[in-house]
């Protein structure tokens, strides 16, 4: 009886872990495997006419775990360009005191400037891709993140990552500090 109960609980737990994954794309063919988890806001700041948010999209293509980072800034004032290249990095300080570094695989990409005529604001969008290594992947699965540093070309910015975020943009509640704990299982 105990063995049956243990088997039932283990199976139930395993299936409950997978059903939490919200995929935008999940395909497997004879030659390719693609898993792309739905993007989530990891950081958001609104101050007057200025808005900024950062979204993460974890993905796995043919066994390689990758993180897509999208930064969107909106302001009525001019927004300077930011760029990623192969020297760019994404650093995380974990709550357990350790540091994790993801390296850019994006070559010479700068933010694109758009103008929204309706509210007369500038919008800049920058996308980059960062790759996991086996050790940092394993550390991110077990410890929440507390601080994130983005190293752009010629500059860097630090962001405090909240335990809970209620987005002003999409009105959804998320737990950014647990982002990797909650989503990395989806791209394994």
Give yes or no for a contact between 71 and 52, defined as CB atoms under 8 angstroms apart: yes
Residue 33 lies in a domain: yes
Q: How many domains, in total, are found in the chain?
A: 1
Residue 63, pLDDT above cutoff 90? no
Cα–Cα distance for residue pair 179/93, rounded to 1 Å: 13
pLDDT score, position 135: 87
Which pair of structure tokens corresponds to residue 42? 């990891």
Q: Give mean pLDDT, residues 144-160.
A: 96
Residue 6 lies in a domain: no
Domain range for 122 is: 23-187
pLDDT score, position 1: 42
Which pair of structure tokens corresponds to residue 23? 């995929």
pLDDT score, position 56: 96
User: If pLDDT is split at 50, 70 and 90, which confidence band does 19 have?
Assistant: low
Q: Give mean pLDDT, residues 25-51.
A: 89
Q: How far is CA 187 from CA 12, 20, 90, 160, in A?
A: 20, 12, 19, 25
Cα–Cα distance for residue pair 37/21, rounded to 1 Å: 7
Residue 143 lies in a domain: yes
Model confidence pTM above 0.75: yes
Residue 12 lies in a domain: no
């Amino acid at each position: 009886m105990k063995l049956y109960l243990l088997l039932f609980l283990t199976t139930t737990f395993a299936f409950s872990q997978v059903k939490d994954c919200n995929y935008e794309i999940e395909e497997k063919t004879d030659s390719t495997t693609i898993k792309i988890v739905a993007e989530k806001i990891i950081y958001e700041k609104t101050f007057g006419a200025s808005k900024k948010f950062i979204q993460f999209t974890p993905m796995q293509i043919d066994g390689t775990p990758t993180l897509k980072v999208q930064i969107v800034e909106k302001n009525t004032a001019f927004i300077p360009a930011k760029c990623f290249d192969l020297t760019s990095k994404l650093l995380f300080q974990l709550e357990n005191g350790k540091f994790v570094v993801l390296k850019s695989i994006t070559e010479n990409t700068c933010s694109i400037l758009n103008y929204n005529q309706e509210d007369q604001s500038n919008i800049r969008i920058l996308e980059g891709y960062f790759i996991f290594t086996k050790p940092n992947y394993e550390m991110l699965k077990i410890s929440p993140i507390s601080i994130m540093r983005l190293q752009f070309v010629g500059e860097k910015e630090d962001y405090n990552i909240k335990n809970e975020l209620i987005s002003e943009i999409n009105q959804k509640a998320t737990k950014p500090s647990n982002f990797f704990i909650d989503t990395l299982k989806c791209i394994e």
